[in-house]
């Protein structure tokens, strides 16, 4: 668990590393904070003093901590399976195919006792699968990454290129549409490829009108700024070349600056992200980690993290430069799979690049399941680490996670929730270790943290909170972690007064 492979496998689950390019693409400079935190968190966790290598010298880990880690591991596996399902859907297959294949692979590795030895190879495959198509993309673009960034950052808009399949032949709108309808920022003339049914929402002053439309093949439809379009199954439309892509940032300058309108809410969100990611890193990779990683392992982890954030930026920049149609309807991580099809002229070249990305996701997911189970074993000092290799238990975990991942959830948000739960329960004990050494108090603090976390998460789903509360509901560790610290602090004062 102290090897570079184990550390990177725990941290770089596909739900996290595939989300990074999507975040950079969607938010530009707004994603730099998340990227920097994802690099710093594991390094910060590894700079904390580890538990002694002799298990007899290690303090037992409270059951509530094991439970929280287990919950976080399940949620991270669940997020990975959602990514696998999304990838299958993007490739044109049913969601459950990707989920079932990934879950079966994870379960097979659970049955193989020597799976840990495959970790470095799996991670290497994942990195190469992400890096090689990017090199091909850069070659096609004919620009270095810095020049490409300059072009994107100064572009007046992200518009449909003339050669785009969305312009020339038209595509199924479901390939573009996220959970929300398409919203147009400027007038746009669409053309139906076949008979098409649409729901168009138009605004006239303060009034909004909705109407159902049926277009014959070749029939045009003009939409105005502010109109929203929802497609039904099988809607194929052609877009106008040179027009702004609905869902894209306004300009390259806006993308490069990443400016937000509400700076105070943005500050709270940034703080919440820092508490969640740094706390999650400490919970997953900090003490009780068996021993300390070697200098070589730490160097490998640092270099790999830097490589991943650079690769993520590279993907975002070249995609915005060569395939801005990806913005259509909003960005989701698996949209990267569309990029080769939009950029490469040769079908074989596009297919190869796409296959490399799929292999990268699969290898990254398998590596993360092995590493996460090993992490749980390392924390389970009283059970001798059996929890990580219990085939019956993991069959159930993969089964439940696979079923849950049929329900479409944003994998990045789910991964953040996993990190948040682990941070809220485990980090207070790292801050006040003496108070947390009594199991009853550690349990009470853990339950308090989990309760605050759950309540805020629920409040975010049921109500529509204002900007400030929304940041807390999005990233509940910001309140749940201090709640755990408060319980431990109160217990310490009471203990000192008694």
Partner 1 sequence: MRAVAKKSSSLSLLAVLAVFAILAALPGDVAQIRLGPLSLLWWWGGVAGPLAAALAALARAGAHDEPGAE
Q: Name which position in 118, 124, 430, 492 contacts partner 1 (CB under 8 A).
A: 430
Helix axes of 295-322 and 119-141: crossing angle, nearest 10 degrees: 30
274 in contact with partner 1 (CB under 8 A): yes
CA contacts within 13 A on the Cβ side of 277: 22
Name the helix (H) or strand (E) containing 176.
none
Q: Is 303 in the site for partner 1 (CB under 8 A)?
A: yes
> Is residue 82 a contact partner of residue 15, using CB atoms and an 8 Å limit?
yes
Residue 150 in the binding site for partner 1 (CB under 8 A): yes
Nearer to partner 1, 135 or 307 (CB): 307
Compose the 234-273 pattern: x for residues touching partner 1 by CB under 8 A, - for all others. ----------------------xxx--------x--x---
User: Within a 10 A sphere around the Cβ of 43, how many other Cβ atoms?
Assistant: 15
Q: How many CB atoms lie within 10 A of CB 20?
A: 23
Q: In this chain, which of 4, 16, 22, 46 binds partner 1, going by CB under 8 A?
A: 46
DSSP one-letter string for 371-400: HHHHHHHHH-TTTTTGGGT-HHHHHHHHHH
State which residue, 35 or 324, has the beta carbon closest to partner 1: 35
Q: Which of 48, 71, 124, 175 binds partner 1 (CB under 8 A)?
A: 48
User: Using CB under 8 A, which of the segments 54-62, 76-84, 103-111, 336-344 binds partner 1?
Assistant: 54-62
Name the one range near partner 1 by CB under 8 A: 70-78, 145-153, 319-327, 470-478: 145-153
What ranges in 55-206 are assigned the alpha helix state H? 63-90, 95-111, 119-141, 145-153, 165-168
Q: Is 257 exposed, middle or buried (0-12, 13-18, 19+ CB in 10 A)?
A: middle
Q: Is 210 helix (H, G, I), strand (E, B) or coil?
A: strand
Burial of 48: CB neighbours in 10 Å, binned 0-12, 13-18, 19+: middle
What letter would DSSP give residue 207?
E
For partner 1, the binding residues in 436-475 under the rule CB under 8 A are 436
Residue 379's Cα: distance from chain center in Å?
25
Report the distance separating Cα 488 and Cα 498, nearest Å.
15
Using CB under 8 A, which of the segments 55-63, 188-196, 227-235, 244-252 binds partner 1?
55-63
Contacts of 317 by beta carbon, 8 Å cutoff, 6+ apart: 24, 145, 148, 149, 152
Determine which residue in the list 113, 206, 211, 295 makes contact with partner 1, applying CB under 8 A. 295
Q: Any contact of residue 223 with partner 1 (CB under 8 A)?
A: no
Report 308-367 residues binding partner 1 (CB under 8 A): 309-310, 313
Answer yes or no whether residue 26 interacts with partner 1 by CB under 8 A. Answer: no
Site string for partner 1, 388-427 (x = CB under 8 A): --------------------------------------x-
How many positions of this chain bind partner 1 (CB under 8 A)?
57
The site for partner 1 (CB under 8 A) is made up of 29, 32-33, 35-37, 39-40, 43-44, 46-52, 57-59, 61, 65, 146-147, 149-150, 153, 256-258, 267, 270, 274, 282, 286-288, 292-295, 298-299, 301-303, 305-306, 309-310, 313, 426, 429-431, 433, 436
């Amino acid at each position: 668990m102290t090897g570079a492979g184990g550390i990177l496998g725990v941290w770089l689950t596909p739900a996290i590393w595939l989300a990074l390019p999507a975040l950079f693409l969607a938010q530009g400079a707004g994603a730099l904070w998340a990227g920097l935190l994802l690099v710093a968190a594991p390094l910060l966790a590894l700079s904390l003093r580890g538990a002694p290598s002799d298990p007899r010298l290690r303090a037992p880990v409270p059951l509530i901590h094991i439970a929280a880690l287990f919950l976080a591991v399940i949620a991270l596996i669940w997020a990975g399976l959602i990514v696998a399902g999304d990838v299958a859907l993007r490739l044109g297959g049913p969601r459950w195919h990707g989920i079932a294949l990934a879950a079966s692979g994870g379960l097979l590795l659970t049955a193989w006792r020597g799976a840990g030895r495959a970790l470095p190879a799996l991670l290497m495959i994942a990195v190469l699968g992400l890096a090689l198509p990017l090199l091909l993309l850069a070659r096609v673009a004919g620009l270095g990454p810095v020049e490409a960034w300059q072009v994107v950052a100064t572009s007046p808009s992200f518009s449909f290129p003339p050669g785009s399949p969305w312009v020339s032949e038209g595509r199924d709108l479901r390939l573009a549409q996220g959970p929300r309808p398409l919203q147009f920022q400027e007038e746009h003339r669409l053309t139906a490829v076949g008979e098409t049914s649409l729901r168009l929402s138009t605004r006239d002053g303060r009034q909004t009108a909705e109407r159902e439309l049926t277009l014959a093949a070749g029939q045009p439809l003009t939409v105005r700024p502010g109109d929203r379009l929802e497609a039904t199954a099988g809607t194929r439309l052609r877009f106008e070349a040179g027009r702004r892509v609905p869902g894209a940032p306004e300009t390259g300058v806006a993308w490069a600056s990443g400016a937000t309108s509400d700076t105070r809410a943005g500050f709270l969100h940034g703080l919440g992200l820092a508490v969640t990611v740094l706390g999650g890193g400490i919970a997953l990779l900090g003490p009780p980690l068996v021993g300390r990683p070697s200098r070589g392992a730490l160097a490998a982890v640092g270099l790999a993290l830097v490589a991943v954030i650079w690769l993520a930026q590279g993907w975002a920049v070249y995609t915005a430069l060569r395939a801005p149609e990806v913005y259509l309807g909003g960005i989701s991580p698996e949209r990267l799979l569309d990029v080769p099809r939009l950029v490469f002229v040769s079908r074989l070249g596009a297919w190869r690049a796409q296959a490399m990305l799929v292999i990268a996701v699969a290898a990254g997911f398998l590596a993360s399941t092995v590493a996460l189970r090993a992490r749980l074993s390392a924390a389970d000092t009283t059970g001798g680490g059996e929890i990580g290799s219990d085939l019956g238990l993991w069959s159930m975990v993969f089964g439940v996670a696979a079923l849950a991942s049929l329900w479409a959830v944003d994998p990045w948000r789910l991964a953040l929730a996993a990190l948040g739960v682990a941070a809220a329960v485990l980090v207070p004990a790292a801050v006040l270790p003496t108070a947390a050494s009594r199991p009853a108090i550690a349990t009470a603090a853990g339950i308090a943290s989990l309760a605050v976390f759950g309540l805020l998460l629920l409040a975010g789903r049921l109500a529509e909170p204002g900007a400030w509360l929304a940041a807390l509901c999005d990233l509940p560790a910001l309140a749940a972690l201090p709640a755990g610290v408060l319980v431990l602090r109160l217990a310490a004062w009471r203990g000192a007064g008694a």
